[in-house]
Every structure is written in C-alpha cells, then in structure tokens.
Structure 1
Amino acid sequence: MRLPAFDTRFLNTWLLKHALSLPAAVLRFVSGGGVVHVAGRTLDPQIQCLWRSLYSQTSGRTGLSLTAKSLETARQEWQDAAALFGLPADIRVRFETIGGEGAAAGTIPRGLLIRPMRVSEDAPLLVFFHQGGGVLGGPDLSRAFAVRLAHQARCPVFLPEYRLAPVHRFPAALDDARAAFDWAQANAVRLGAPSGRVAIGGILTGAGLALRVGLDLRRDFKPAPVAQLLVTPLADLSDTRIAANAALGLWPLSSADIDLLIGHYAGGGASLTDPRLSPALEPLLVGQPRSFVVSAGLDPLADQAEALVQRLMAARVQTVYRRYDTLPLGFDLFAAVVDAAAQATDDIAETWVELLRSGQGEAGPEAETGSDAAVA
C-alpha cells in the first residue's frame, strides 16, 4: 500500500515554533547575547533569534536581504521563508484558484480566493494586494496573513496576482490592481460576499496599490471600497526618511533593500513624487473609505504610515492606527512561529472587524484614532 505524501513544511514549522518557545533569555543567549534596542524600542526576542541565528551569515547580511545577490535568488529565499513560517496547522480555510488557463485572457484576474469555514453574513470581500515590493513574488507571500485575517474576521479574502518588476515596471502593477478590484466588485456575490460589500487592502507596496486604487475610484465616480486596510504601507516612494531610518531596518528588510525594490518597481524614468506612484502625495484625501493603518515599531516606513494617518484624519476620514513596537517591517510573515507577530495579526483582525462594524450605521464627521499598540 502506498502511503500519502507527507508535507514536511508543517513539521518544520512546528519544530521551529517549539524551538522559539524557549525563555527570552535563552533565545537572546543563542542569538549572541544582549538585547537589541533601536530608537527606544526593543526587538522581540524570537525575531532576534531568527535573525541572528537561523538567518545569520558570515557576510553580515541577513538571509532575506536583497543586496549582493540575484533577484531570482532573493525571490526564492522569500518564497521559502513564506512556506517555512507560513500557515498555522490549526486554521482551516478553503482555497480556490481564480482565473488561470481556463479563463479568457484579460477577463478574469488570476489570484487566490480564501474562504473561512464560517463567514459572517454581512462580511465584505477583502481584495488584498500582496507584499513583495512589486518585485519579489506573488500571493503566496501574503497567504499566511490573509488566512489568519479571513479566519479571525470571518470574511472572504481575494489575493490577486499582479505583474512584477523589473520585467513589468510601473504602472503595470497598478493597472492589474485596478482591473482586479473592478472584477471583484462586479463579482462579489460569486466570491462569497453581499453585493457591493467589497473592501481593499495590502501590505507594503500592495498597500500603496490599494490606496491608489481607492483614490482612482473616487476620481472616476465609481463605488468606493467599504473600508481599506493598509499594513506597513509603502505609499511615498520619494520619502527621504526611509534612508534616515536605516537603523530601524534590522530584519528582514533594510532601508537599502527598500531602495532596491523602489528602483526595480519605478524604473529610471518615473518621478517618485508622481501621486500615481506615491499615492500618499495625493493632494486631496477627502472621501476616502474608513481606514485602518498598521506599522511596526522597528520599521523604516513607520514615519510614512504616521504621516498618512495624520493626513487622513485631517481629511476627516474615519481612521484607526496601530503600531506594534517590538516587531520589524515584514512581521506578518512570521505569525506562525513568533508569538508577538501572531498576537499582532489577531489584533489586526479584531480591529478590522470593529472598524467594519462602525460603518454599519452612519459614520460621524470626526476621525477616529486608535492609540499605538505595542504587542510584547
């Protein structure tokens, strides 16, 4: 009798999670001793152990760094990390591939639909654009985060593909993102949500795409998303504070890595101050949907997130902001093995649900802000 193939990814994730369950003092000892303090914030000990033990290299660069390696190698490393740190074994969802070879070219966007086992009756579909800086990979990079969000919020999540740089530079990704949202809006019921109940969101460059699509929908007098979820947004590619915050770019993405991603994504001929490329520079943010903005404490993009929050509030957009002080940019990737990342992801899902519920009635004219949340 032939036994079914065993997926070793879950075993590897389980082993890593249990190794990281050792006391914080032991984890810091294994990772070379000491506590990592940056700008008055302390890096989570489990993240520190991953960074300085599992991914340390004699070159001093981290295993997920983009510098001094080919783009193909960097993409493979990020895909491997997403698989290793990926799906928790205790969450069950349904996956459905959308588009593909059976779909007419240009009519149905390719992507991954995630349906929780239980869906709230009024839960919107969330169209969520994956991370990777518009360069590193596809929906698999954000699948683990989307699974947790779908499960906790009891809402379907659609992770569309979009073309990647440097082969397809801006505005290819934006064109694909808009087409994917328009298609999802027209097919919300088919995808498991009430008609017209579609939200938008993303991580890193994906969050920038989500913000830009929402702005373009307003410009075109199209139905707006019911809400937007912007996780560690890269929405101002001209922001000089990214380099100034180099010390915050500990791991997995440094400010040098972000600069490299921006160069690939935008290309040499684009103006980084173009609001289509840097939607946070849009002159008017009035009329944006209810917004939930997330940043990390050790995140070279945190200043950018906070500036966006201030602008949304000034535009009288109902806005909630959370910052997770012990975590770095890219923390969502490690939620299956790092306790603080899992807690942050759960908190994001709970806050997202609260924001959606707040919109069931008529939204007040004043912006709502959440206090900074440090998940230790």
Structure 2
Amino acid sequence: MTSPFLRLWLLRQILSLPSAVLRFFSGGGVVYVGGRTLDAQIQFLWRTWFTSAKQEVTFSLSGKSLESAREEWQQAAALLGLPAGIKVRIEPAAGDTPGGIGGIIIKPAVIAPDAPLLVFFHQGGGIIGGPDLSKAFCALFAHEARCPVFLPDYRLAPAHRFPAAYDDARLAWDWAQAHAVRLGSRSGEVAVGGVTLGANLAARLCLDLKRDFKPLPVAQLLVTPLLDLGDGAMKTSTEGLWPVTADDLDQMISHYAGAGAGADLTDPRVSPAHEKLIIGQPRTLIAAAGLDPLAPQAEAFAKRLIAARTKVVYRRYDSLPLGFDLLASVVDGVRAATRDMAQNWLELIRLNGAEETHPDQPRNQPRNQDVA
C-alpha cells in the first residue's frame, strides 16, 4: 500500500500539470455554472482523485451514514496534510480549558507584534470532524497573517444539537480571551472567526457579546458563512458542486438544528442573519466563494454591516466552491485566496484599517482569482 506521504507527493505532482491536462484527466470540458468556471485543480480532485470506482465521492454525505462520512472527512484531511513551505508549530490546547473542551493551537514562526490571537471555529457543518478539518487552512492563514490561531473543539450534532456547539464556542472564547498572551498574542488582543457553520458561531458570538456589554473581538473573519439556516434559495444554487453541496448543507442543518422536529430556523440565535440589530460590530472580513450556495448570504450580511457603519472588507473568489478551505494544502487557487484573506486581515486589524470594500465594489484580486 502506498504511504500517505507518497500519495500526497504524487498528488502535488499531478496538480502541477497544466489546467488543460487536468481537465482532460477529469473527463474533458470545464465545469461552468452561473457564468463562472470551477478551478481546474478542484475539478480534477472531484472527478478523479476523490471519486472511487463505485462513483462514491469523498466529502459527499449522499448515501452514507454519518459515522462513515465523519471517518471519510478525517481520512481526507489527514491525507491532504499541511501546505508545503510554511513554518508553524502545532500543539494541543492546555488541559485547563473549560468543560474539557479540546483544541489545537497554531503558532507561526514569526508572530507580528500587533497580531491578535484568532479563535477560529472549524469546518464540518456542526456534525462532522474537529479542529483537524480546518488545520491546513488555519496553518496557512497563521503563516501568512503572522498570527496565532486557536482552533477549539465543540460538541457535534445530532448527539448534541443546537445550542451545544454555541455554548462550547462561548466557553472557548472566554477561555482564550483570558489566556491570550499565553496562547501567542503579543498584543493581548483576540479576534474570532470560522468557516460555514463555524462562521455562524463567530457571528452569533459577536452579536451576543455586544448585547451583553462584553468586550468585543478586535475583528471577525467569516469564511463562506452559513448565517440563515432556513434560506431555501441555497438549496437551488450550484447544487451539484463539490466538496460541499446544497444537499450536504440540508443534511447538516437538519442534524444541527433539528429541522425535522419543527425547529424555527428563523430564530436569530441559530440564524444570525435574522438578528434585527447589528450595530457596533467589530471590523469584519467576509470571504465568499463564487460557486457557493451561501454567497448571497455573505453578501447580504456584508451590506447590512456596512449600513450599520461597521468597517467591512468583502472578498469573493469566483473559481472556488463552497468548502474550498478543505483543500488549502494542495490547490493553488485556495492558497492564493488564503493569502489574499491574510493580507486583508493584516490591514483590517491595524489602526488605519484596510480599504473598505462593498460587495458591489470589490477590490482587485490576485492573479487567477476573479471577483464579481
């Protein structure tokens, strides 16, 4: 059996081939949806590398038990490893975390003096995985932004439905804030972020801290945020794309919020997009994907924050799909997007801030990354 190291080496060699060759190996043609073309490396991973002889696709929840899907996601994350060429130290969170919440701490070789600790809630839709799912993305982000990252664990549905994950996120935030310097923040400041459902937790946390007159994060990072769990439009947009499809989102939401049991998905506690008052929020970087059923939610939330006079930077990476962060270690376009996020993050957290960008007036993207 080929070792994981050799498989990863082979995968990286294949992905270095020209886009036309990768598309040929993927069956030919391009994946073109809504005026946007899917990244060629991601198309190859989807159609070839992560599709079995039985046509079962890694990361897809369709036709699988939750247990097998969890195992599959973890194996894929382990196979893909960390991005090459970065210098970070990864260590488990100390044993004094509240409620036994675990997690990992990522520290780059160089930490900027003004860089806050980033508390980042991981990928997985609230039902799959742990910090390892977002380790590659966060390691690259930490390296590029020169900031430490704390990736806390949290309880998963359906064994622990909402609000269990949020309760754990709040505990993790409080603990990280009290131990920011020990966790690597030279400034003592703390920021918050997350991806998809993790971004939901981060946004909800900021709203609740403001309501409770608690100290706010210095900034928040929302990557492909799932902010309205009852949004029917996301089920009809780019449904067939990979690695996370609209059908996968539907299953995640059903498990997480108990949608089948008559849960109110318009409750702002579970869907922050329905919060009526969003004034006084921290500086915010929102990153959306072009081939993403959640992109309209991200754009709408960015516009609301801007209207509430929050400093916002909004970025959309048109060739990438929902779940692109899972591929940060091997896909050039994802690495470029992550570097772009890190650069905007560095500017945003500094006193002069970044140039504010509105969803209708985006800034220029790095090469090979289009913005609508």
TM-score between both structures, scaled by the size of structure 2: 0.92
1:155-192 Cα shifts (integer Å, max 9, x gaps): 11000000000000000000000110011111111111
Determine the structure 1 residue equivalent to 2:242.
251
What letter is aligned with 1:69?
A: K
1:106-164 Cα shifts (integer Å, max 9, x gaps): 2x632111111111111100000001000011000000011011111111100000000
Match of 2:178 among 179, 186, 195: 186
Q: 1:368 Cα shift? A: 4.2
Unaligned runs of 5+ in 2: none
Q: Tell whether 2:6 aligns with 1:14.
A: no
Q: Tell whether 2:38 aligns with 1:40.
A: no
CA distance in structure 1 between the partners assigned to 2:275 and 2:205 by the alignment = 12
What letter is aligned with 2:254?
A: G
1:317-368 Cα shifts (integer Å, max 9, x gaps): 10001111111111111122111111111111111111112xx25x79x964
Determine the structure 2 residue equivalent to 1:51.
46
1:41-65 Cα shifts (integer Å, max 9, x gaps): 0011111111111223566552221
Matches within 5 A, 1:50-199: 50-57=45-52, 62-100=57-95, 103=96, 106=99, 109-194=101-186, 196-199=188-191
1:231-283 Cα shifts (integer Å, max 9, x gaps): 00011101111112144x40011111100000000012421001010011110
CA contact (8 A) 1:250 1:328 kept: yes
Unaligned runs of 5+ in 1: 1-6
Determine the structure 2 residue equivalent to 1:308.
301
CA distance in structure 2 between the partners assigned to 1:105 and 1:243 by the alignment = 37
Greater mean alpha carbon deviation, residues 59-68 or residues 292-301: 59-68
Q: Tell whether 2:290 aligns with 1:297.
A: yes
CA distance in structure 2 between the partners assigned to 1:34 and 1:165 by the alignment = 39
Determine the structure 2 residue equivalent to 1:233.
225
CA distance in structure 2 between the partners assigned to 1:13 and 1:58 by the alignment = 20
Q: 1:86 Cα shift? A: 2.6
Matches within 5 A, 1:253-332: 253-267=244-258, 268-332=261-325
**Percent identity among equivalent residues?**
60
Q: 1:371 Cα shift? A: 3.2
Determine the structure 1 residue equivalent to 2:369.
375
SS in 2 for 1:189: coil
CA distance in structure 1 between the partners assigned to 2:97 and 2:200 by the alignment = 28
CA distance in structure 2 between the partners assigned to 1:348 and 1:157 by the alignment = 15
Q: 1:372 Cα shift? A: 7.0
Q: 1:9 Cα shift? A: 3.3
What's the RMSD between the two structures over aligned residues? 2.0
What letter is aligned with 2:89?
A: R
Q: 1:98 Cα shift? A: 1.2
CA distance in structure 2 between the partners assigned to 1:177 and 1:152 by the alignment = 25
Q: 1:300 Cα shift? A: 0.9
Determine the structure 2 residue equivalent to 1:224.
216
Determine the structure 2 residue equivalent to 1:3.
none
CA distance in structure 2 between the partners assigned to 1:223 and 1:105 by the alignment = 19
What letter is aligned with 2:183?
A: L
Distance verdict in 2 for CA 1:20–1:109, change over 3 Å: same
1:5-60 Cα shifts (integer Å, max 9, x gaps): xx943432221011111111111111111111100000111111111112235665
What letter is aligned with 2:242?
A: W
Distance verdict in 2 for CA 1:368–1:24, change over 3 Å: closer
Distance verdict in 2 for CA 1:175–1:139, change over 3 Å: same
Greater mean alpha carbon deviation, residues 313-322 or residues 58-67: 58-67
Determine the structure 2 residue equivalent to 1:351.
344
How many residue pairs get aligned? The number is: 362
Determine the structure 2 residue equivalent to 1:29.
24
Distance verdict in 2 for CA 1:105–1:282, change over 3 Å: closer
CA contact (8 A) 1:111 1:160 kept: yes
CA contact (8 A) 2:169 2:201 kept: yes
Determine the structure 2 residue equivalent to 1:209.
201
SS in 2 for 1:213: helix
Q: Tell whether 2:367 aligns with 1:341.
A: no
CA contact (8 A) 1:86 1:333 kept: no
